[in-house]
Amino acid sequence: MSLEGKVAFVTGAGGGMGFKISQDLIAEGANVLMFDIKPKPEGAAAFGDQCRYVQGDLTDDNAVETAAALAAAEFGGIDYLANVAGALWFGKDESALDIDLDIWEQVMAINLKSMVHTSRHVVPHMRKQGAGAMVHFSSTQCLRGDSAPQDAYQAAKAGVIAFSKSLAIQLASDNIRSNVIVPGPCASPMQERWTDNPASKAATADAIPLGRVGEVDDMANACLFLLSDKASFITGTELFVDGGLLARP
């Protein structure tokens, strides 16, 4: 993957997809600034000097700016950004016709505005490096209706796609790429409401053409590919990692 000596800023790195992406980047020789509102996971201790963990709130622009500066100072720059963090607020995020508007604003801040914070503070460091790559995580939910709507989450994740395309065009002349991963159902901590229920997990797998739900490894593999030079001619697009779910009639 040609990741030796590269520097990545990874959000949502305290567990699930973000932790696995950080782990795989480090295994490929990269240095990683892991950022999450959760405490540092025990497994991060094994990463040694290739990792710096910052516990902070992505909706706090100053905290993100400070973390980006720390990554650049500690590791000599920033080459990659993986915007993995997100939040599903079951029971609070509902139809826009009924939702508490304060909840709407909070969900938007976590799932979309946070990516504005990271991008605006990481891109200057990428420009100094002369190149960079960003991967932002959306969701297949943003392309479908739902009888049990989570309208703020779905709208935010649709905004991620539009934002990434805009960044891709703005930053192409700087040799900075921006792409989106659109995960389907995935066995991750954020989805544990249904993945911990064998019947629900089996029913979800039955709806996916490949016959299983996604794993965090699937998402990490796709993310490392899009960050790496193997994807050097790919920008402004979406990679669907959904087992064929959206290809169904």
Does some domain include residue 15?
A: yes
Does some domain include residue 152?
A: yes
Does some domain include residue 95?
A: yes
Which residues span the domain enclosing 25? 7-240
Please tell me the distance from the alpha carbon of residue 68 to that of residue 235, in angstroms, as a whole number.
23
Does some domain include residue 2?
A: no
Residue with tokens 């249904």: 194
Does some domain include residue 61?
A: yes
Tally Cβ neighbours within 10 Å of residue 27: 13
- Angle subtended at Cα 139 by Cα 138 and Cα 145, rounded to the nearest 5 degrees: 130
Q: Which two tokens stand for residue 216?
A: 């965090």
Residue 193 has a pLDDT of: 61
Please tell me the distance from the alpha carbon of residue 33 to that of residue 200, in angstroms, as a whole number.
35
- pTM, full prediction: 0.94
**Residue 219 · residue 22 · CB < 8 Å:** no
Tally Cβ neighbours within 10 Å of residue 119: 21
Residue 198 burial class via C-beta count within 10 angstroms: exposed 0-12, middle 13-18, buried 19 and up: exposed
Q: How many domains does the chain have?
A: 1
Please tell me the distance from the alpha carbon of residue 218 to that of residue 195, in angstroms, as a whole number.
16
Asked which of 93-107, 133-147, 225-239 is least confident by mean pLDDT, the reply is: 133-147
Residue with tokens 């053409």: 209
Does some domain include residue 246?
A: no
What is the residue-averaged pLDDT of the chain?
Answer: 94
Q: What is the DSSP letter of 53?
A: E
Please tell me the distance from the alpha carbon of residue 146 to that of residue 135, in angstroms, as a whole number.
26
Does some domain include residue 25?
A: yes
How confident is residue 198, by pLDDT bands cut at 50, 70 and 90?
Answer: confident
Asked which of 65-69, 86-90, 155-159 is least confident by mean pLDDT, the reply is: 86-90
Q: 108: domain CATH number?
A: 3.40.50.720
Does some domain include residue 40?
A: yes
pLDDT in tens, 112-131: 999 999 999 999 999 999 99
Q: Which residues are catalytic?
A: 153
What's at 15, amino acid-wise? G
What's at 187, amino acid-wise? A
What's at 127, amino acid-wise? R
